[in-house]
Structure 1
Amino acid sequence: MQEQKGQRGQLEELRAWLRLTLEPGIGSVTAKNLLMQFGFPQTIFETKFSQLMPVVGEKIAYQLREPCSEEINTQIDKTLEWLNQDNHHILTLADTLYPKALLDTYDPPLLLYVDGNLSAFQKPAIAVVGTRHPTLNGAQNARAFGKYLASQGWCIVSGLAKGIDASAHEGALLANVDCPTIAVMGTGINRLYPAENKAIALGIRHRGALISEFPLDTPANAFRFPMRNRIVAGLSRGVLVVEAARKSGSLITAKMAGDLGKEIFAIPGSIHSPLSRGCHALIRQGAKLVETAQDILEELGYAVTANAPEPDKPSVDPEIPEKFKPVLEAMGFEAISIEELTEYLSLSIEELSLLLTEMQLQSIVVKQVDGKYQRVFHNGEN
């Protein structure tokens, strides 16, 4: 009987936490002020109007003294049904399992919805972020850095967006270790966005963790992504920016991490690439330039148990036909247009087009959406 009473008490406490996050007009700042003044959410809803009003004003004070609305009760019931499924968790600020790294941030979420393994929060974490429209090299770098860092015992934190985020998560999953990655979602935990990352999300929920601070069914809206980014920054001991334009959400994440005193890392790129300019700006501002994932661990003072492969030395050297080698030498490591290639080679555009088509068919180069060509590195490591 005592155990049943304890379970009922825990359930009522959780319902109060959920109600506090669902009440309209009560944002994170107001909710935290209430918690500081009155303690747990249950106490807030039992506090007299006269005590509430000086803290939140007349309108919200009346609202808090009213019985919970039918709409909010329905949402709470749905949330508790979600919670009853395997590997579903809700962590409140008062929970001993709440990530300690977030408690040190200026605005920790009141609660976190977690789909996956809570052990992921016990690992040291590195955030890997960047553009949603990376170059081939950028995506390969994110995947390779994610794989190596996960294999060294780190948890890769990112935002499950397409592009660099997805590649970093994917690389971490390829490391084939426990709890390799955490995806911080900008939607409700039951709303996958973008849909194209479904396979990656399923891998994360089985071997890592999907997390969100937003109520179930919360849709994807632009203003929520900076909120998500502060959690990415807060969970991590450092942030690696792989590719980013000058105006990029990734730079916001890096700034948030920097304001928290965390290390910022950036991979340099071509001075001609718009997606290198954000990284170069960070480096000018003091971010650490990195060429391999090993550089990150050494900078943070962690032991390296296996060297990271050099970025310009593929571990698998495919047998490239001789006729393709001059094209690859002219191409270098960056994307290049066919017109630019003709300036380096004694070939007509027609002859070069035939060669590039053959090279595409043999997966030696790829043609990007902007029409430029880029060589493929088959090692997939950095």
Structure 2
Amino acid sequence: MTTSSSELKYYNAFNLFPEIGAVRFKKLLAYFDSLENAWQASESDFRNAGLDEKIAQKICAERKNIDPGKEFEKLEKEKIALITAEDETYPKLLKEIYDPPAVLYIKGTFKPPDDFSLAVIGTRKPTPYGTQAASNLTRDLSSTGLTIVSGLALGIDTLAHKACLEARGRTIAVIGSGLDRNSIYPSSNRRLFDMIAENGAVISEYPIGTAAMPYHFPARNRIISGLSLGVLVIEATEKSGTSLTANHALSQNRQVFAIPGPIYSPSSVGPNNLIKIGAKLVCNIQDVLEELNLVSLTEQIEAKEIIPDTEEEALILKLLSHEPLHIDKIVIETKLDTATVSSTLTLMEMKGKAKNLGGMQYVIVR
């Protein structure tokens, strides 16, 4: 099933009310058949549908200031897609948890290989040991074909995303704010946000314009673990958000993995405690793949090499990466004339091999 574009407008409109979570979305759909019908409802109708009186009053009072069509146009302007739990493209693993988000906002795309995902999480202030473990293990796990899920936070999250991108693998970032440029948190990771959107997906259950709030992150953490077959913890203090994500994973029947650390390091207390209560101790990627029964993952998910169709494409593909490259640089390096490079890049865009980021800056698409 695919939710119609007209219905998506009303999913987004109702999602502007923080009180309307997955349970109340279901109540509205059960009573009104569609959210478009629900948008026109009276206060008494909302109460009959099972909404609390205060919520019903709030919707009726504030919806006059909301134009569902214009609000949806804001998403389109930001190139943000919206999917619902009813859509075929909604992640299968996430749909299994007891409280999946009713809607997901996406920059980028979900792909079939994302069914094989592993969350990598940890402290915002890693030690040199944690930095090395996060970078090396994530890179190697990504190279097997696993999609790496994390939270775009500073520290281990950032290291995991970057290592995955360097391995030319897929990665998904789940954030606790809106996906519009001004809401991205932390703002220092905006460039990383863009790179992830180009090579995987950045997702949120929050509408655009929503600032990151402390209480958003526990909810975000359930999505990180819910998207994944398992969660790998690399450094965390005893009472950290990372430990909470591990608890979500356990409640969702996900496998928890942990990197052991020095007993005198505060950053190792979290993973060491998890190992004591049954988390899988990880020293190398085989420990993860064997536990998830994914030893043959590289055979299940083949990283497809981009094959050039012409000599000109071959020359350009040698230069393109996930880092933007200006067309003038391509002309200089390939020694092709500008017209040939321009027309070849246009054809490569049509074939899904390259992408123009604007300003004649190009990246490879994989």
TM-score with structure 2 setting the length = 0.74
Q: Is 1:68 the equivalent of 2:63?
A: yes
Correspondent of 1:155 among 130, 147, 159? 147
Superposed counterparts of 1:1-382, under 5 Å = 10-23=4-17, 25-46=19-40, 50-54=44-48, 55-62=50-57, 64=59, 68-70=63-65, 72-73=66-67, 77-84=70-77, 86=79, 88-119=80-111, 122-177=114-169, 180-190=170-180, 191-304=183-296
Kindly state the Cα deviation for residue 26 of structure 1 after the two structures are TM-superposed: 3.2
Kindly state the Cα deviation for residue 288 of structure 1 after the two structures are TM-superposed: 0.4
Q: 1:129-157 CA deviation, whole Å, 9 max, x = no partner?
A: 00000001101211112111111111000
Task: Report the residue type matching 2:162 in the other structure.
Answer: E
Compared CA separation, residues 97 and 286, structure 1 to 2 (3 A) = same
By how many angstroms is 1:121 displaced? 6.6
Q: Deviations over 1:144-182 (max 9, x none)?
A: 1211111111100000000000001111111113xx100
**1:45/1:85 CA distance change after superposition, 3 Å:** closer
Per-residue deviation, residues 41-96 of structure 1 (Å, max 9, x unmatched): 223335565553241144444555679322x227x62442332555x311112222
List runs of 5+ in structure 1 lacking aligned partners.
Answer: 1-8, 307-382
Question: In terms of mean alpha carbon deviation, does 246-255 or 109-118 score higher?
Answer: 109-118
- SS of 2:152's equivalent? coil
Rg: which structure is higher?
Answer: 1
Question: How many residue pairs were aligned?
Answer: 293
Judge which range, 60-69 or 229-238, deviates more.
60-69
From the superposition, tell whether residues 140 and 199 of structure 1 become closer, same or farther in structure 2 (CA, over 3 Å). farther
Q: Is the 8 Å Cα contact of residues 130 and 244 (structure 1) preserved in structure 2?
A: yes
C-alpha deviation, 1:36, in angstroms = 4.0
**Taking structure 1 as the reference length, what is the TM-score of the superposition?**
0.71
**Partner of residue 352, structure 1:** none
Task: Read off the aligned partner of 1:73 and give its amino acid letter.
Answer: D
Task: Quickly say closer, same or farther: Cα 1:81–1:136, change in 2 above 3 A.
Answer: same
Distance 1:123 1:103 in 2: 12
Task: Please report how far the alpha carbon of residue 253 of structure 1 lies from its aligned counterpart in structure 2 after TM superposition.
Answer: 0.5
Tell me the equivalent position of 1:345.
none
How many Å apart are 1:220 and its aligned residue? 1.6
Percent of residue pairs identical: 40
